[in-house]
Structure formats: C-alpha cells, structure tokens
C-alpha cells in the first residue's frame, strides 16, 4: 500500500476518518469531483442525499480502478454538500456505508466536508473529489 493512515497523539480520534495520511507511492492521482451520475450521465437518486453520496463514492472507486487504484490508495477526500447542516450527517453516513458495503472497503482517509450553495446541476446534492497515491 502506498498510503498509511494515522491518528497522531494530541489530535482527536474521529471514527469516520484518520487525521493524517502518509504517501509513499510513485504515482499521484487527482480524481475530478464526482457527482451522482451513472455511466450514461443520468442523475441517480434525485432528491436523495444518501443515494447520491453512494453514487459519488462508487464513481470515485471506478475512476481509481481505471488507473489501477482503489480507495485504499486515497490520501485525501474533499466532499461538497449543497445546503449542508449537521442534521444531514446521518444521510451522508448512510450513503458512505452503502458504498463501502458494495466495494468491500472502508473509507477513512483524511477528509474535508464543505457546505456549498449549489453545484453544477441543480439536482446534484453532493460532489466528491479524491487525491490518491499508487505504487
């Protein structure tokens, strides 16, 4: 593995992610923000945050697989959620859990969740981008 995930002493341990990732691989991969489109460009889960989160994570996984990687290679995730409020965390977590179950991988790299006013298409509720390092 090119990525080691760490929770350094003195920082809180947060179950959803690790505070630091250490990359030792040789290929740096930047995955463009993935929205809830299927392979035909049709929005999946219109109005359903959990379904859209799930599709976004699946799309990131497909992008990584296309260059020989997986979520195990992700050094950092950035997630943009339209009209974010903390009460949406349960739906967000549900979508992540469903994608994780489908892929058989846990998603715990360092991450940043950013609330935004809107995304590129009005029906998109979330966008996920990733930086990965592959051996």
pTM above 0.85, yes or no: yes
pLDDT at 1 over 70: no
Burial of 98 from C-beta contacts in 10 A (0-12 / 13-18 / 19+): middle
Least confident window among 45-49, 86-90, 131-135: 131-135
- Encode pLDDT of 116-125 as tens digits: 999 999 999 9
- Encode pLDDT of 26-69 as tens digits: 899 999 999 999 999 999 999 999 999 999 999 999 999 999 99
């Amino acid at each position: 593995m090119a990525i080691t995930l760490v929770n350094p002493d003195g920082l809180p341990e947060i179950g959803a992610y690790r505070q630091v990732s250490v990359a030792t691989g040789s290929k740096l991969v930047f995955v463009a923000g993935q929205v809830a489109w299927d392979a035909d460009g049709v929005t999946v889960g219109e109005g359903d945050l959990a379904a859209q989160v799930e599709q976004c994570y699946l799309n990131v996984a497909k992008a990584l697989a296309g260059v020989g990687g997986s979520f195990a290679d992700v050094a950092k995730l950035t997630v943009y959620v339209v009209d974010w409020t903390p009460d949406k965390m349960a739906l967000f977590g549900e979508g992540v859990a469903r994608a994780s179950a489908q892929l058989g991988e846990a998603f715990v790299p360092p991450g940043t969740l950013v609330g935004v006013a809107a995304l590129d298409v009005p029906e998109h509720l979330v966008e996920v981008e990733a930086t990965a390092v592959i051996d």
